Amino acid sequence: MGMKITLIEPPITTDDLVGKTRSMKSVVNVIPSLGLAYLAATLEEEGYDVKIIDCSIRISHSELIGLLMRERPDVIGITGTTPVFESVKKVAENIKVSLPDAIIVVGGPHLTAMSKETMECPYFDVGVMREGEVTFLELIKRIQNKGLTDLRDINGIVYKENGKVIETRPREFVTDLDSLSFPARHLLPPLEAYKPTPASYRRLPLGVLITTRGCPSRCTFCDRGVFGSSYRERTPDNIIAEIEELIFKFGARELRFFDDTFTLNEKRVLEICAKFKEKKIKIPWTCLTKVTAISEGLLKAMKQAGCWQVLYGLESGDARMLKALNKGNTVEQNERAVKLAHRAGLSVRADFIVGTPGETMESLRRTLDFAIKLRLDYAHFNKFVPLPGTELYLTLLKRGYEFDFSKGCSILDHSAIMFTPESMTKEEFKEFLDFANRAFYLRSSYILKRLVSIRSFTELKGQIRGFFAIYNL
C-alpha cells in the first residue's frame, strides 16, 4: 500500500529494570510484546508493510536509530509502560532528529493513564489510547489519505492541534476477541531470544498468549485502563488453534497464559482442558488467576491437561491490608486456594504487594510469615509503586504527594522507593524488601524442596540464576 510502518518496544537498560539492585537483573521477565504483535497482525491483514523492532532483547538506542535509518518508515509506533517511559521519550526525540518526516504514534498503559500530560512532550504526534487494534488501523488509513489533518472523528486518540492537546471520545472495546488475528509472531525475534523469569518455566522456549481481556476486579493498586473492566473471552477452539501455531510453527515447548484471571469462567477452562486431551497436546503450561476463581475439580482438570503451576495474586497476609487493597478475598481464602492447588499437584507462585498506604512493619512481617507458612513454591514481594491510572495513585495525589517517574520506578529496584508508608522510614522499608526475599528463599528447607522439584536441566539453570539474584541482594 506504499506506507511503511514500524512498531517499537523501546530499549530497556539495566537501570530501567532494576536500578541499583543489580543482582535482580538475572530474574527480570523478558517476554514477547503481544500488544505490538496484535497491532502488526491487524495492519498486515489490511495489506500494510509493517515491521516490529523489539529492543527488550538488548537493542540499544543507537542501534535502533541505525535500523530505522535503513528502513525509513513513514509511521513509527512506540509502546511503553510507566517504568520505561523515559526510554520511549528518548526514542521519539532521536527519531525527530534523524527522521524528521516520520510520524510518531505513542501508545500503551502510560499514555492511556496520562494522555494529556504525555502529549505535552513535543516529540509525539498522536497517541492511541486503550486497546489499539481498531484505532491504530483507522488512524493509519487517515494518515495515508490526509496526513495528520482532520483527526477529530477518530475515537480513542489524543493529538495536538494549534498547540492544544485534544482527546477524542473513547473507543469501544473489542467485544469479539475471536475476530482478531493471532499476534504476528513472525515479525518478532524467535522465542529463544527471550528470557522469562526463572520462577515461571520448566522448559524453554516459552510461548505466551492471552485468552481474555478486561478485569472486573477493583483492586486499588492496579490500572485497568488499557483493557478496561468489561470481561471478554476467546472461544476454546480459537485458543487451541493459536496454541498449535505456537508449538508447531514457532517451537514453543511450554506455554504461559497471561490473562489477569485465566479461570474466571470455570466452564470455559474445563473446555480448554478437554481440548488439550482431544488434540493430544502434551505441553507444560502455567497461568495467572485469583483465589476466588478456582475449585478443587478445576485445578485437578488443569493438572491433567498439563498445567504445573498457578500464580495467585495473594497480595497480603494481613486482613486489614487486603481490605484496604479491595482485593475481594480474605486471608482464609488465600490459604485455602494454596492448599487446593498443592493438593491437585500444582506448584504455586504468589504475588504480594508490600508498602502500600496504611502498611506497618507488623503487617509486613505478617505477610512474610504467611508466605513461609503456606509453603509457597515462589513468593514475589513486589514493592508498591503508585502507578498512574490506579485508585491509590489518585488518592495519594489528593493527599498532596508528588511523583517523578523519570527517576526510576521499577518494582524490582529496592533502592528507588517512590512511596514509603507513614509508619516507617525509607531505609526500614528497603531493609524489609531485601530481608523478605532472603528470609523466604535462603531457608535450607526451601532450597532442598526446590532441588527435589526440578524437572529439567533448563529449570535447574534458571533456579541457580534465581538463587544468586537473592543471595547477592
pLDDT tens-place string over residues 316-331? 999 999 999 999 999 9
Q: Position of cell 482438570?
A: 301
Give pLDDT, residue 6.
98
Domains of the chain, with CATH numbers? 4-167 (3.40.50.280), 196-384+419-471 (3.20.20.70)
Give pLDDT, residue 466.
60
pLDDT tens, 333-350?
999 999 999 999 999 999
Evaluate if pTM is beyond 0.85.
yes
Give pLDDT, residue 15.
63
pLDDT interval class at 162 (50, 70, 90): confident
Q: Position of cell 523501546?
A: 10
Measure the CA–CA gap between 130 and 128, rounded to whole angstroms.
7
Q: Which stretches of 229-289 are DSSP H helices?
A: 236-248, 266-278
pLDDT tens, 408-466?
777 777 888 999 999 999 999 999 999 999 999 998 888 887 777 777 777 666 666 66
Measure the CA–CA gap between 1 and 319, rounded to whole angstroms.
58
Answer yes or no: are the C-beta atoms of 115 and 127 closer than 8 Å. yes
pLDDT tens, 376-420?
999 999 999 999 999 999 999 999 999 998 877 777 778 889 999
Give pLDDT, residue 415.
81
Measure the CA–CA gap between 389 and 228, rounded to whole angstroms.
11
pLDDT tens, 166-189?
999 999 999 999 999 999 999 999
pLDDT tens, 111-147?
999 999 999 999 999 999 999 999 999 999 999 999 9
Whether the pLDDT of residue 253 is over 80: the answer is: yes
- Average of per-residue pLDDT values in the chain: 92
CA distances from 328 to 349, 374, 394 (A): 19, 20, 20
pLDDT tens, 36-64?
999 999 999 999 999 999 999 989 999 99
Measure the CA–CA gap between 252 and 191, rounded to whole angstroms.
7
Measure the CA–CA gap between 18 and 247, rounded to whole angstroms.
32
Measure the CA–CA gap between 392 and 390, rounded to whole angstroms.
5
Question: Exposure of 425 by Cβ count < 10 A (0-12 exposed, 13-18 middle, 19+ buried)?
Answer: exposed
pLDDT interval class at 301 (50, 70, 90): very high
Q: What are all long-range contacts of 454-463, with beta carbons under 8 Å and residues at least 24 apart?
A: 455/202, 456/202, 456/203, 458/201, 458/202, 458/203, 458/204, 459/201, 459/202, 459/203, 462/198, 462/199, 462/201, 463/198
Question: Which residues have CB under 8 Å from 33's CB, separation 6+?
Answer: 9, 52, 54, 56, 79, 188
In this prediction, what percent of the chain has a pLDDT beyond 70?
93
447 or 251: which leads in pLDDT = 251
In this prediction, what percent of the chain has a pLDDT beyond 90?
82
Q: Give the range among 153-157, 222-226, 351-355 with minimum mean pLDDT.
A: 222-226
Give pLDDT, residue 23.
47
CA distances from 33 to 2, 12, 37, 223 (A): 26, 13, 6, 18
